[in-house]
């Protein structure tokens, strides 16, 4: 589907989405993304096949990577043709994307709603599916106020936050019960967990566990970051200041964040915190700078440049880290606004210098491959 025809299907919807983006997003949210986000998105786009998906094992579609990757290209504002191809595949396969394991995923529905906004599409007819209504049908399936029928032990707050962000992106009203569920899940004072969110609190009368990266209990930065973004976007009554204080206290080495306070830092957690800070109108520049230290620079093989590594990838590209790191590096509040595209930056391109001498001007070309890593502005600390 062409860019013109895709974006021209519902002019009124596009205008509505643009207005929503201008009203809901904080100042600067629609500015051009920093170059390292585009650099990373260029690597990510190279993984997308002609059909429009990112292949996984046995070349089967990796639904999660394709969905999150499309959002990444939209937030970075590069690789428009690839973005369009991915959106087309997601529309054509919307039912399997919504229910990859048999039951409708509120998280995937939230992602699709955000992507529809980025693409300027009507979320009520995305691939022939009314995404808003489909998400609404999952409300209360497991517990009152919670989206989704699956056990929320490991993803309750995260999926609820994505669902709320998706509804906000679509300009749809968020049910009070849904916001109330998320607000009630926030950890209370006076424990060291105060202000944060853990994946799911079974009994709200029992205080949250203190964060413990060894036992893997207590509130985590990922659930907290997405809950902050969701409550800010939807105007919920959660204590955002307490949440930001919790996140500030969780900051680890080098200005990066761990999954659980006190643990090892990683790019995914750092990216999600960057999104929360950006959405809440706080300073996210330190988090973005930390993300750059995981980006693979120009001294690495050409096929790896721009990707993000992680503590689990031994210096090689990590697809999961890359797609979420691009979100954080893009300096965009969530839910992301309508995508605006430009050229993909190439900080590794050779530089040309012309000097004058007795024999006339001399032009020299210097390959970025030969430069020290510190000379690559977007990757000052990590070269792969």
**Which CATH number covers residue 89?**
1.50.10
- Residue 321 is part of which domain span? 3-375
Assigned domain for 380 exists: no
Assigned domain for 336 exists: yes
Q: What share of the chain is helix, strand, coil (3-state, %, to 5)?
A: 45, 5, 45
Assigned domain for 48 exists: yes
pLDDT at residue 190, as a whole number: 79
Assigned domain for 271 exists: yes
pTM of the predicted structure, to 2 decimals: 0.86
C-alpha pair distances (Å), 265 with each of 75, 326, 346: 23, 17, 28
Residues 100, 121: Cα–Cα separation, whole Å: 22
Reported residue count of the chain is 384
SS (H, E, C) 271-306: HHHHHHHHHCCCCCHHHHHHHHCCECCCCCCHHHCC
Is the CB of residue 189 less than 8 Å from the CB of residue 207? no
Assigned domain for 384 exists: no
Assigned domain for 16 exists: yes
Is the CB of residue 293 less than 8 Å from the CB of residue 380? yes
pLDDT at residue 191, as a whole number: 83
Assigned domain for 117 exists: yes
pLDDT at residue 12, as a whole number: 38
Assigned domain for 15 exists: yes
pLDDT at residue 40, as a whole number: 98
Total domain count, the chain:
1
Per-residue pLDDT of the chain (384 residues; tens, 9 = 90+): 444 344 444 333 333 333 333 333 333 344 578 899 999 999 999 999 999 999 999 999 999 999 999 999 999 999 999 999 999 999 999 999 999 999 999 999 999 999 999 999 999 999 999 999 999 999 999 999 999 999 999 999 999 999 999 999 999 999 999 999 999 999 998 789 999 999 999 999 999 999 999 999 999 999 999 999 999 999 877 899 999 999 999 999 999 999 999 999 999 999 999 999 999 999 999 999 999 999 999 999 999 999 999 999 999 999 999 999 999 999 999 999 999 999 999 999 876 655 665 666 655 544 444 332 332 333 333 333
């Amino acid at each position: 589907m062409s860019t013109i025809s895709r974006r021209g299907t519902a002019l009124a919807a596009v205008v509505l989405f643009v207005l929503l983006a201008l009203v809901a997003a904080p100042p600067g949210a629609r500015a051009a993304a920093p170059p390292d986000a585009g650099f990373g998105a260029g690597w990510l786009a190279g993984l997308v096949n002609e059909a429009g998906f990112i292949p996984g094992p046995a070349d089967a579609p990796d639904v999660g990577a394709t969905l999150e990757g499309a959002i990444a290209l939209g937030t970075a504002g590069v690789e428009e043709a690839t973005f369009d191809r991915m959106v087309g595949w997601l529309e054509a396969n919307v039912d399997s994307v919504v229910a990859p394991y048999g039951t409708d995923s509120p998280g995937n529905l939230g992602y699709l709603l955000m992507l529809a906004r980025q693409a300027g599409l009507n979320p009520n007819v995305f691939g022939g599916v009314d995404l808003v209504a489909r998400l609404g049908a999952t409300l209360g399936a497991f517990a009152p106020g919670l989206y989704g029928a699956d056990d929320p032990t490991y993803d309750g707050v995260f999926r609820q936050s994505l669902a709320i962000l998706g509804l906000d992106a679509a300009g749809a009203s968020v049910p009070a019960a849904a916001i109330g569920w998320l607000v009630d899940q926030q950890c209370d004072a006076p424990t060291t967990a105060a202000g944060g969110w853990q994946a799911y609190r079974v009994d709200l009368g029992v205080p949250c566990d203190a964060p413990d990266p060894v036992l893997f209990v207590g509130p985590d930065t990922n659930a907290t970051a997405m809950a902050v973004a969701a409550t800010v976007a939807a105007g919920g009554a959660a204590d955002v200041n307490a949440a930001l204080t919790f996140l500030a206290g969780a900051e680890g080495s080098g200005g990066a964040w761990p999954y659980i306070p006190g643990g090892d830092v990683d790019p995914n957690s750092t990216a999600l915190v960057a999104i929360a800070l950006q959405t809440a109108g706080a300073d996210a520049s330190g988090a973005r700078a930390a993300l750059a230290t995981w980006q693979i620079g120009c001294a690495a093989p050409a096929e790896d440049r721009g990707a993000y590594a992680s503590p689990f990838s031994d210096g090689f590209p990590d697809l999961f880290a890359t797609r979420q790191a691009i979100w954080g590096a893009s300096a965009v509040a969530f839910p992301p606004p309508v995508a605006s595209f430009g050229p993909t930056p190439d900080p590794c391109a050779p530089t040309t210098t012309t000097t004058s001498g007795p024999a006339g001007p001399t032009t020299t070309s210097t390959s970025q491959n030969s430069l020290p890593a510190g000379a690559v502005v977007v990757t000052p600390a990590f070269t792969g």
